[in-house]
Structure 1
């Protein structure tokens, strides 16, 4: 089970932000071969992207998280596509430093409340965002970003819900990442373009490191 704790939502948000350490792009990874997990995490970390999200979309995702947590101390590994409290606990036990979910449910909120591992839940409607805010969460995933209205939608939320910040994910790449990062309520973006499937399968870690360096050079507008 996940480690129990009594931290407030606000303190957990601050812990999550400390883990991300101002990183502008969070790699969202779907790893199909366990053997790729460690060299991929090392290449991304060398490129400046230490915080990574390994999604639970493959049978060996938890083992990938375990290996990265044990063998790549320079990386901050998180788990994504968490849909239930049981998955939350499994991912935390595997060594995840943060948990990412595409949505928000009472079950997940309860699991996060009882754990020291911070949760980054997804929310796209004003109602979902307000519900998360009432639960003490003011840093949220906005997913699927492009399909849900993109940067224009997030810009419209910046005034009425000014105290909530986002990590948009979904349909974001090098051509539009800067549009999101220019918004006052966006702290970082998530994307898979820094680790293309063909480069991962071929073990072309130097090229992935170069993509990571380019992504880490993206910065928030002052």
Structure 2
């Protein structure tokens, strides 16, 4: 039986946790990998996100948007299994990361999400690379506070219009950025930013759209976080910069924790600098 340290220091056996919910327990590695991307064909989570709405003032979407703007960092996690996702996420969250997404490509993504939502109720946890309404609904039932896509999926945006979660659509061109904002997106992910010119591209698209909140995503390093935020990005997505391939392959979670601490500090300092300059 696999055990994972909780945020309070206790040890939670995953089999016990998941068997107490409607999620199947982790019995073997094979059973974990059998949870495919189509989670809804196996089990469904309870509507746990409803509890989050009552905890904080305003909507969940408002709270997550505030967390994103205050931290300057969204950690993007891809893992080979739900167990690895949980351990890597715990390392990042204990390192100071407050906003974290697990991508749909992670086997057992919803099981990992529900466990982490239970253990870290104050964190803004979400699901990335959400491409259709069905996956979005399953993510919400498992407690996702935000959903992110590489492009805009209008049906998802419509489904969370009441603020039960924040939807962050992806956009590449000025036209796509404007369309997403006009459709109701509170913030837009500019993707793939490095391939488009990096910091210079963010600076360029912010000029005609100074009031549209943007997240820079793809190929960003911790060292460049301050530059992106300095040029108008509300936040940046960090993937390999926190969850290094070698650290993930070797399960070197102390390294992930160190990178998370560096990223969280760099993001908060960059945000503080911008606010100090505006005051």
TM-score band (shorter)? 0.7 to 0.9
SS class of match (2:117): helix
| Residue deviations 1:143-179 (CA, integer Å, cap 9, x gap) | 1111123221221122211100111111111243332
Q: TM-score, normalised by structure 1?
A: 0.87
Q: TM-score, normalised by structure 2?
A: 0.70
Q: Superposition RMSD on alpha carbons, in Å?
A: 2.4
SS class of match (1:54): strand
The equivalent residue for 2:238 is: 191
| From 18, 23, 35, the counterpart of 2:71 | 23
State whether structure 2 residue 101 is matched by structure 1 residue 53: yes
Question: Structure 2, unaligned stretches of length 5 or more?
Answer: 1-45, 54-58, 275-279
1:167–1:187 CA contact under 8 A, matched in 2: yes
Which has the greater radius of gyration? 2
| Residue deviations 1:57-92 (CA, integer Å, cap 9, x gap) | 133222221221123335331100000111110111
1:167–1:188 CA contact under 8 A, matched in 2: yes
Structure with more of its chain in helix, by fraction: 2
1:45/1:12 CA distance change after superposition, 3 Å: closer
Greater RCO, CA 8 A, separation 6+: 1
1:74/1:118 CA distance change after superposition, 3 Å: closer
Question: Structure 1, unaligned stretches of length 5 or more?
Answer: 6-10
| Residue deviations 1:70-126 (CA, integer Å, cap 9, x gap) | 233353311000001111101111111111111113222222326611101111211
2:94–2:257 CA contact under 8 A, matched in 1: yes
2:81–2:107 CA contact under 8 A, matched in 1: no
